[in-house]
Amino acid sequence: MRIPAIHVFILFILVFSACDGSNDDKEAFVADIDLDKIKKRGYLTVSMDNNSTGYFIYRGKTMGYEYELLKRFADEHKLELRIDVTKSLEEAFDKLNRGDTDILAYNLTITEERKKRIDFTIYHNLIRQVLVQRKPDGWGQMHPNAVDRAVIRNPVDLIGRTVYVRYHSAHKSRMESLSNEIGGGITVIEDSANLETEEIIRKVASGEIDFTVAEEDVALVNASFYPNLDVKTPVSFPQQIAWGIRQNADSLQLALDKWLLRMKKEPVYQAIYDRYFTKRHESLNPENEFFTVAGGRISPYDELIKSAAKDLEWDWRLLAAQIYRESKFNPQAVSWAGARGLMQLMPNTAEAHGVTNPENPEQSIRAGKKHLLWLSDIWDDEISDPAERTKFILASYNVGQGHIQDAVALAKKAGYSGRKWDGEVEEFLLKKSKPDYYRDPVVKYGYCRGIETVTYVRNVFTIYNTYRELVPEG
């Protein structure tokens, strides 16, 4: 039987529409989960970046700007906070709408395109996007005005240049808009979906690419780790940073908005921001001079240091170098992360070792010694060479032994011994800032900005070598 052509056409349209509609339905589906259902189940799930500002583990403590804020919100509503680290923004959007997560906390810029897929809370920050670029060679010996002349300060000078941006980020649309505003000519390339903004910034610092774009607060923190970076050129007006929620989660949105409005008026809100962006940035600015060494002394606490070093079987000048690196011999020192005292002990570590007053030099050094001995026990069986073991102990003291054990596991997986620090385990610790590595099944502690710890170990030994030249061993 012959089917009339019009019927064939109608059948084709119906089939095509059905196929096309299934994709639309999948995209359009939004789970019906609001605050009442979240409270009934007892936990709040948040999609976050595993990076150096939003969410990370430091010395065994879970930290991060987004994490701290949302932990306070969850606690207020008597909810357990569960973190879901997603591989990409696209995956995070999908999980949110499917109901696998409840909040998207990605330092998100509010855009019209994103508002088609999700709703946003009121903004919790206003941030400009800035150009991330390298300073010229020899910038340290140049006048600041000469550096300014050597880098791009006028976005018009980006014509003919290529700017790499994070996949599915607001940076792409902003740079495309900027290109149109200045008459075209900027090539904008989305990097791999697996690369986060911080990793793309690292590529600029290393010379692999010339330009990327980042939120100003994130850029400033990263410029602290890579002094050759310039992040002073804005490429946008201040933009709203907010959390994403499902479009039908009205009660959750209202609760978050009310909470944010109240929190933004409280001093603790600014304190949390400063901890990760302002104070942390300032604390990482290195001083060029060591503590004044005169008369064979390094510090007012030499005798305490010598006694502790004897128990550790260390050269006391090495322990002095570590203490200088930790606190510059300031017993009232408080780090961005909340570590206190001469040996910058985190509150839980200090308590575990019997510290009642973290600003007391004797208590701080005694507790620091106990913690170093504890770390030594962890590495005794693994690292037989005393000189190598000391580096593992120092690295563990800085960032927590879990991250160092992860780096050892990665090194062994790659065919290395896992017992050598320089050029081996330190390299895999550096790789733990890359998704392909911190998401490896052998890794238990997630993201780590390894450059901080690698630099820490190197700095301690640099200071130690200086003390060895200037101060007698005894």
Q: Is 326 considered catalytic here?
A: yes
| Distances, alpha carbon 54 to alpha carbons 47, 104, 105, 279, 357, in Å | 11, 12, 8, 15, 30
How many C-beta neighbours within 10 Å does residue 151 have?
16
Handedness of CA 57, 195, 82, 272 (dihedral sign): positive
Reading the block at residue 382, the tokens are 């693994």
Annotated active-site residue in 66, 68, 216, 326? 326
Q: Residue 261 is which amino acid? A: L
HSE toward the beta carbon, residue 429, CA cutoff 13 A: 30
**Which of helix, strand or coil describes residue 239?**
strand
| Distances, alpha carbon 371 to alpha carbons 108, 194, 211, 317, 385, in Å | 39, 37, 43, 18, 20
Residues 392 and 406 sit within 8 Å (Cβ to Cβ): no
Q: Residue 40 is which amino acid? A: K
- Of 300, 412, 379, 397, which Cα lies nearest the Cα of 339? 397
- Of 129, 151, 132, 133, which Cα lies nearest the Cα of 142? 151
Q: Which helix (H) or strand (E) holds 242?
A: strand 239-245
Across 49-175, where does the E strand assignment appear?
A: 56-58, 61-63, 80-85, 103-109, 119-120, 125-127, 129-134, 162-165
Q: Which residues are known to be catalytic?
A: 326
